[in-house]
Amino acid sequence: MKIAIATDHNGVSEKEKLKSILQQDYEIIDLSPNNDPLDDFPIYAFKVAEFVKNNTNSMGILLCGTGIGMSIAANKVKSIRCAHVSNVEEAKKAREHNDANIIAMSAKYDFNLISECIKVFLTTEFLNEERLVRRNKLIEEYEREHGNEC
């Protein structure tokens, strides 16, 4: 599986630590290799979201000051289900219930929490239960009908 990862200037050191851990099991694509204090997080969120959209068997990781802005930006890209999470249970449910394909987190959390949430996110499968499939289809249908006008 390919994992696209990006951060704004807030999460550079966390990104580098994650890359060294994750590259043992995944192909890591760093889409923010040159951060600076004036960088704009939406650019990186769009890059990761477009990568995930265009590459089957891929997922994304986004880190910024809060993770909120990254998740908002990534979710503007069609077919992306980016979940902003703050704990392991949310990371698990984002995959099990929502079939999320990108995780967004605050780079200011403890690194052990970030690492554990990402590990759980990447290894948890969508439950594929009828009610969950139905709910995700409702979101997809709305996106298809309304596109960027929402």
**Residues that are catalytic:** 64, 97
Alpha-carbon distances of 1 from 28, 63, 102, 129, rounded to whole Å: 9, 20, 13, 24
Instruction: Indicate if the alpha-carbon torsion angle 122, 50, 68, 150 is positive or negative.
Output: negative
The one-letter amino acid code at 30 reads D
What is the Rg, in whole angstroms, of the alpha carbon atoms belonging to the chain?
15
